[in-house]
């Protein structure tokens, strides 16, 4: 049965292309529009906001061709609703654990993945197609990539659970083409070097750059197979790792600040049933404090702890102004808070 209702996302993620200049002519590419897509992953439902860049130089080979965020290909296949982590888990359950489609469906539902049993069969087909993309038709691939003259290689591994096989996906960021996908029991530099060699020999165009996370085995494999080729750390992975200590410090700061403003509800009870200006003022400031302590911001760039500190300082300063004036014009201060 078809699903008529839309999915409600648990969180939102904004992805921007790491590259700012056109790979064909070198001119600046501006963000011209935004695409949105809902993605079902093992961690929940995400709403992706994809910032799309385009080259505006007439005569360029990539004139008005979209350049999408590189990180998108590490999360999902083009125009697919389920993430690659879900597809990898479905394939592992089917071919490693020999589970039936109803059993796979039950396991996914138990893990909180909203999916129909028919969709499990479709994902198995996608898994087979991805694994079959092992450059079985190199002539077709060469013709497709010859027009752009180069590729920017993105390399990432997807592991549904700890200890399971890792699905390694190699893809071209310029065209969005999946060049190779293969499950490996280990991700050593030697194993990844074999995959890189296979791609380099089959695409027929030079590799202009590599984008990946900071895994040491990937760095060693790229250095061995593609010496001298620029290797850039994925901005998403870099920011995620760099934000961890900031996130923990911010979380601790907010926790300590909230200790000093507990007891808002008892203050509100004191003025319950009253309609005088002083009661309105008290309720206004209690609402301001309650709003401040429940605002979690948007980590890691919008620190909730810093925001809470700023808002509490504003409330404190206004209360001091009211007290210094002896409570006069209380209504105006309460409404401006």
Kindly give the pairing relationship between strand 207-212 and strand 231-233.
parallel
- Cα separations (Å) of 93 from 118, 257, 279? 16, 46, 62
- Computed over every residue of the chain, the mean pLDDT equals 82
Strands (E), 97-145: none
Report phi then psi at 179, rounded to 5: -85, -35
User: With bands split at pLDDT 50, 70 and 90, how would you rate the model's confidence at 45?
Assistant: very high
Distances (CA, A) of 141 to 67, 129, 172, 180, 258: 19, 15, 11, 11, 58
Q: Give 2's pLDDT tier (boundaries 50, 70, 90).
A: very low
Partners of residue 36 on adjacent β-strands: 49
Long-range contacts, stretch 263-267, CB < 8 angstroms, 24+ apart:
264/289, 264/290
Question: pLDDT > 70: what percent of the chain?
Answer: 88
pLDDT in the model for residue 4? 43
Q: How far is CA 178 from CA 77, 153, 239, 256, 276, in A?
A: 9, 10, 25, 48, 68
Q: H or E segment at 272? A: none
Q: Please give the pLDDT value at position 301.
A: 62
Place 33 in a pLDDT band, splitting at 50, 70 and 90: very high
With a cut of 50, say whether residue 331 has pLDDT above it.
no
């Amino acid at each position: 049965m078809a699903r008529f209702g839309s999915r409600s996302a648990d969180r939102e993620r904004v992805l921007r292309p790491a590259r700012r200049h056109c790979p064909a002519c070198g001119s600046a590419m501006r963000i011209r529009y935004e695409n949105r897509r809902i993605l079902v992953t093992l961690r929940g439902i995400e709403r992706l906001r994809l910032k799309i860049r385009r080259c505006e130089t007439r005569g360029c080979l990539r004139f008005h061709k979209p350049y999408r965020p590189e990180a998108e290909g590490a999360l999902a296949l083009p125009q697919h609703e389920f993430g690659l982590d879900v597809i990898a888990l479905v394939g592992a359950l089917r071919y490693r654990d020999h589970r039936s489609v109803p059993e796979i469906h039950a396991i996914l539902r138990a893990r909180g993945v909203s999916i129909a049993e028919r969709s499990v069969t479709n994902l198995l087909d996608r898994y087979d197609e991805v694994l079959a993309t092992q450059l079985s038709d190199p002539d077709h691939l060469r013709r497709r990539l010859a027009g752009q003259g180069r590729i920017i290689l993105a390399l990432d591994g997807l592991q549904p659970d700890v200890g399971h096989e890792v699905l390694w996906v190699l893809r071209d960021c310029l065209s969005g083409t999946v060049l190779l996908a293969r499950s490996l029991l280990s991700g050593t530099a030697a194993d990844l070097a074999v995959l890189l060699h296979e791609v380099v020999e089959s695409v027929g165009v030079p590799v202009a750059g590599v984008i990946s996370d900071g895994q040491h085995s990937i760095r060693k494999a790229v250095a061995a197979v593609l010496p001298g080729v620029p290797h850039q750390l994925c901005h998403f992975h870099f920011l995620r790792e760099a934000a961890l200590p900031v996130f923990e410090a911010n979380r601790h700061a907010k926790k300590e600040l909230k200790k000093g403003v507990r007891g808002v509800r008892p203050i509100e009870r004191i003025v319950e049933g009253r309609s005088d200006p002083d009661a309105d003022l008290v309720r206004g400031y209690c609402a301001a404090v309650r709003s401040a302590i429940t605002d979690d911001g948007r980590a890691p760039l919008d620190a909730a702890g810093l925001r809470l500190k700023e808002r509490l300082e504003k409330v404190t300063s206004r209360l001091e102004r009211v007290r210094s004036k002896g409570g006069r014009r209380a209504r105006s201060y309460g409404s401006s808070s």
